Amino acid sequence: MKRTVKPSFMILSLLMFIILSACATGANTQNTSAGSTDAAKKVRIGLTVPTLSNPFFVAMSKGAQEAASKFNAEVITVSADQDLAKQTAQIEDFITKKVDLILLSPFDSKGIAAAVAQAKAANIPVIAVDGFAEGGINTVVMSDNVMAGTLAGEYLAKRLNGKGQIVIMDGPPVSAVTDRIKGFEEVMKKYPEIKVISKQNGEGNREKALSVMENILQANKKIDAVFAINDPEGVGIKIAAEQAGRGGEFFIVGVDGAPDAVTALKEKKAFAATSAQFPNEMVVKAVELGLQIKEGKSIDSKVLIPVELITQENVEQYRGW
């Protein structure tokens, strides 16, 4: 006997099929949308550094690429070529491009204040890296530069047995430099028999420090040690001493842990030690903090990255940049 399907049962089955299909389609649509949103939320970051002729800032740019990969971000890195006006224009360009975050390694901590204020007015977080900047930054990520100067000073004083004639090679007007000088000079106060016979500005680069050191060598017949605020200056000082035939007269202590300093340390000549920084780690940390700011989280106003003293004795164990 042929069975007859009741109309009510057919209608109910059809309704259930439509409901289940709609649910499945809705779930698929939601997942697709979520994926598209994640792809579209790629963070754009602008990084401006004083100069890419210094290996320290090259290492910083490498850290930016590491951060870009880690956090699915796009990083635009530019060099100010030690020009305040150029760095100001670069920040203004980042604002025009509507980047999500600006990382600033300042060439002039005070001079860059107006550009930082413009970014703040545009609601773009600004994180200073390797030096404080005025104008309203959200935070600063830097090496413990006072510690860097302190370690260098303690090494120098111990090697001199607390007495001698020394030179200080200063640098650009940024907080990183002034903090290194502060840490170093605090140590020197404990050693009244260590005399600073010259303190001049090497502008943070090899060529200038070499030229300045040539003049210092001509004016001073006896030098026992030199503290340089960064390794490019330290290498320039070493070259000046060797060219003057005085390469074995004094030793040099720098700051950075740069590749050129590592090479000089391994020579076991005038370049004796450096307080090593980790610029790539600074930038990765700065990006991490910037993303926290974008999420509305509160962060510390200053984050310090520890430094390590690298000498001729332990340079083989140093991980470098």
Full pLDDT tens readout for the chain, 321 residues: 444 444 444 444 544 444 444 444 443 333 333 333 344 578 999 999 999 988 899 999 999 999 999 999 999 999 999 999 999 999 999 999 999 999 999 999 999 999 999 999 999 999 999 989 999 999 999 999 999 999 999 999 999 999 999 999 999 988 899 999 999 999 999 999 999 999 999 999 999 999 999 999 999 999 999 999 999 999 999 999 999 999 999 999 999 999 999 999 999 999 999 999 999 999 999 999 999 999 999 999 999 999 999 999 999 999 999
Sketch out the chain's domains with CATH numbers. 42-141+279-304 (3.40.50.2300), 145-277+312-317 (3.40.50.2300)
- 73-79 β-sheet, strand order: 73-79, 43-49, 101-104, 126-129, 139-143, 302-305
Which helix (H) or strand (E) covers residue 139, if one does?
Answer: strand 139-143
Q: What is the model's pLDDT at position 54?
A: 85
pTM of the predicted model as reported, rounded to 2 decimal places: 0.77
3-state secondary structure of 164: strand
Q: What is the model's pLDDT at position 40?
A: 52
Yes or no: say if 193 and 157 are a contact pair by the CB < 8 Å rule.
no
Q: What is the model's pLDDT at position 22?
A: 45
Q: What are phi and psi of 241, to 5 degrees?
A: -65, -45
Taking the CB of residue 170, how many other CB atoms lie within 10 A of it?
A: 21
Yes or no: say if 253 and 228 are a contact pair by the CB < 8 Å rule.
yes
Dist. CA 321–CA 317, nearest whole Å: 13
3-state secondary structure of 201: strand
Dist. CA 263–CA 271, nearest whole Å: 9
